[in-house]
Structure 1
Amino acid sequence: MPRQQERARRTRAAIVRSAATEFARRGFAAASINAILEQSNATKGAMYFHFASKEDLARAVLDEGLEHYRAIVDRWMDVPGLDPFERLHGLIGDLGAALHDDVVIAAEFRLVTEPEFAEEVRLRGSVLWGRAGYQLAREAQEKGLFRPGVDLQRFVEAIASSLAGQRYLADLTSPETDVRARFEACVEVPLEAMASEQWLAQWREKGWPSRPDNDESTA
């Protein structure tokens, strides 16, 4: 890649990262373009070379967030040696950790609650993980890991509703709060009500498996 193109790529990435920090902290309406430029060491001209408006910049952050979500989902869908519930637990735990540690994910969470991006929810991370969660639930049902008659859609929706509540609580809690553990509980409670007695007995005896060795932070 020519040096000028590489410099432009790095400048754009720095602006997006700085914008994510600002959006995560203050939301879209209150976010300051000057603060974004100061943190990224970019000029206003450089910003408007890459982004037509503040809204265009926010959409770039949303797109980056979607890629971070996709990396988390892809990492957990086919982990060898883990059953579907264990993979779902790992996936949701990583989402919680990312909300705490990954500023792009944190910004995505914040932006999709803003009126300007309300229609974006159907295209973003919650839908991506929701589809993955349903796929894992269907696999678990095929393996006989649920109690008879469990509604898979209801199972996934119960997790999603709990996660939405935890997402808002995360804004109100201290930086030391274990967001991963709170997200993991959003999986554990529905499982206690809907997983088969055989699976629950094994889980209560052994607990969750260790995290895969190749697990990497999304921060």
Structure 2
Amino acid sequence: MARQQERARRTRAAIVEAAAVEFARRGYAAASVNTILEGSHATKGAMYFHFESKEELARAVLASALEHYTQTNDRWKAVDADPFQVLHSIIMELAERFANDVIVQAEFRLIVEPEFYAEVRAGGSQVWGQTAYELVGRAQAEGLLRPGADPGTFTRVLGAALAGQRYMLDLTADSTPLRERFEEALAVVLEALASPEWLEGWRRTGWLDLRAEAGAVTPENGPETGSD
């Protein structure tokens, strides 16, 4: 029984992974079930045992992406460091996931499809956005924001800037690494809303590498892409 359950788990994971590749490449409407089956090496019967429809399979990919975002946030929320430095580290890991994690790539493509508009309000952007809001609130409590600056405004503007940078790279075929564009967006928001004292210190020290403290992914080892 245990061996059968493990085989079923692996089959389901392979189908979700292959579906993510197809959704990331072609979007939801144009995605081919046959291509997903070829990529997963599963039978049509096995796929429909786990998923009743292509939509249910897409929602499994979205759920897996949410787990990936949650893994990132849970690691970084435990790091005791300058909140803006932690926020930068989260954003850099998100950039690595967008570059290397096909599950996250598929989620980004799926949430712009009409069938999944509602997922924007409950998906990965909300997970990391809440963590960003908490970090900026912590920064405010520590006197790292300008007087009158609002954590909600900071987080909304930053989120919109990051999403815009991600879309523009696709639209313009820009070869600039996404992490550079994300870092640029964060720097612009910080220049506007961080305290002069924090900005002065940051200009001296630059960004800190906190990955070892969080056990975070690196460009060399890449993020987890498996899914149960």
TM-score bracket, shorter-length normalisation: over 0.9
The SS at the match of 1:218 is coil
Structure 2 partner of 1:218: 223
Structure 2 partner of 1:147: 146
For 1:133 and 1:43, the matched residues in 2 are separated by: 42
Compute the RMSD of aligned alpha carbons. Answer: 1.4
TM-score normalised to structure 1 length? 0.95
Paired letter, 2:51:
F
The SS at the match of 1:171 is helix
**Residues 22 and 31, structure 2, Cα contact 8 Å, conserved in 1:** yes
For 1:103 and 1:173, the matched residues in 2 are separated by: 21
For 2:156 and 2:9, the matched residues in 1 are separated by: 39
> Given the alignment of the two structures, is residue 5 of structure 1 paired with residue 10 of structure 2, yes or no?
no
TM-score normalised to structure 2 length? 0.92
Give per-residue Cα distances to partners, 1:93-151, cap 9 Å, x unaligned.
Answer: 11111111100000011101100001111110011111111100100000000110102
Q: Which runs of 4+ in 1 moved over 6 A?
A: none
> Given the alignment of the two structures, is residue 39 of structure 1 paired with residue 25 of structure 2, yes or no?
no
Residue 174 of structure 1 deviates from its aligned partner by: 5.3
**Residues 169 and 175, structure 2, Cα contact 8 Å, conserved in 1:** no
Give per-residue Cα distances to partners, 1:24-83, cap 9 Å, x unaligned.
Answer: 110000001011000110111100000000000000000000000001111211213x21
For 1:43 and 1:166, the matched residues in 2 are separated by: 39
For 2:15 and 2:57, the matched residues in 1 are separated by: 8
> Given the alignment of the two structures, is residue 130 of structure 1 paired with residue 129 of structure 2, yes or no?
yes
Within 5 Å, which residues of 2 pair with 1:1-219? 2-80=2-80, 82-172=81-171, 177-213=176-212, 214-216=215-217, 217-219=222-224
Give per-residue Cα distances to partners, 1:132-189, cap 9 Å, x unaligned.
Answer: 1110010000000011010211111110110111121232465954111211222111
For 2:78 and 2:95, the matched residues in 1 are separated by: 20
Q: 1:25 to 1:182 in 2, by over 3 A?
A: same
For 1:202 and 1:65, the matched residues in 2 are separated by: 35
- Percent identical among aligned pairs is 56
Greater CA drift, 15-24 or 203-212: 203-212
